[in-house]
Amino acid sequence: MSLLEVQDVTVRFGGIVALDGLSFDIEEGHICGLIGPNGAGKTTMFNVVSRIYQPARGSVRFRGEELLEVPAHGIASLGIARTFQNLALFPTMTLLENVMVGAHSQGRIGFGRAISRLGAARDNRRTRDNAGDLLNQLGLGALAFRAAAGLPFGTLKRLEIARALAARPKFLLMDEPAAGLPHGEVDGLAETIRGIRDQFDLTVLLVEHHMSMVMGISDRVVVMEFGRKIGDGTPAEIQNDQRVIDAYLGAPA
């Protein structure tokens, strides 16, 4: 059964059509690569799924439920988490606190219980320990009490993954996780993505320009150009698709 069904989604910004009748499905448990030239609408697609943009037309179904009727803050508790292309961390918080905010949708402490302190200490301890474990798993444990501001880009990208995992998602959208990483770390990142997919039973939608990584770990690849889908298939099929080669991949030199 498809976990996510995107049907005929159209997004316009003024006169510009960012997504033009885009449709595709994602199978449960897959790592799905979403590739295409800059400006093809990949990040726009992410923002539609996480309800930051409202499409003019179309439908996005997650486990059969229409996402476009869910408010932005309701996405996390449905089991959808994401990372951001250009980092959207909380710079004044420590790494640990960033991951604790990631678990917001898992908590039940509201204003009343926070002020009266009923169960708040236990909730804090549990959230804090879970966050610490996640940081350790992503190799960030030694930096847990450092403020996020000022740390290297690659470190913060990993922090975004840890923060997204704290929400215990079923579906993880990753926007260019390898961007800004030195070449040698990309293999490690690919291992990490596969590892978290297996451990947390995730389905992953991955936007990435690092072709060898996308082709290496994806079960399926969707190719976009100018807001439309121009290719869809296994990595091997995509690499031999003439339209995709012309639009994006280019002929092997």
Partner 1 sequence: MKPLISIKSGGPASWAIRIACALAVGYILLWIPTRGSNSLIDTATTALTLMGAALSLNLLLGFTGQISLGHSAFFGIGTYTTAIFVTRWGWSPLKTLPVAFVVAFVVGAVVSLPALRIKGVYLALVTLALGVVFPQFIKWPKIAWLTGGARGLNDTGFKFDKNNRTYEIFGWNPWGNLRGENVKPFYFWIGIGIVAIIYLICRGLVKSRVGRSLIAIRDNSTAAAVMGVNLAVTKGIVFGLSAAMCALPGCLTAMKGSVVTPDTALLTVVGSITFLIVMVVGGAGSLWGPIIGAVVFELITEKTSDWVDPDKIPSLIRPIFSWSDTAPAGGIFALALVVLMFVAPLGLVGLWKQTIARVVSVVPRPAGSGTLDAPESSAGGIPTWRPQQEPPAGDEAE
Residues 10-69 that bind partner 1 (CB under 8 A): 50, 52
Q: Could you give the CA distance from residue 188 to residue 210 in angstroms, rounded to a whole number?
A: 13
73 binding partner 1? (CB under 8 A):
yes
For 86-100, b/e burial (b = at least 16 CB within 10 A) is: eeebeeeebbbbbbb
Site for partner 1 in 78-117 (CB under 8 A): 81-82, 84, 88-93, 96-97, 100-102, 104-105, 107, 109-111, 113-117
- CB nearer to partner 1: pick between 213 and 223: 213
Determine if 180 is a binding residue for partner 1 (CB under 8 A). Answer: no
The answer to whether 239 contacts partner 1 (rule: CB under 8 A) is: no
CB of 208 to partner 1, least distance (A): 16
| Lookup: tokens for 95 | 């790494």
Shortest Å, Cβ 134 to partner 1: 8
Cα dist. 2→9, 24, 64, 203 in Å?
17, 10, 9, 10
What is the closest distance, in whole angstroms, from the C-beta atom of residue 247 to partner 1 in the complex?
A: 30
CA angle 180, 185, 188 (to 5 degrees): 130
Q: Please report how close the Cβ of residue 215 comes to partner 1 at its closest, in angstroms.
A: 20
Under DSSP, the state recorded for 248 is I
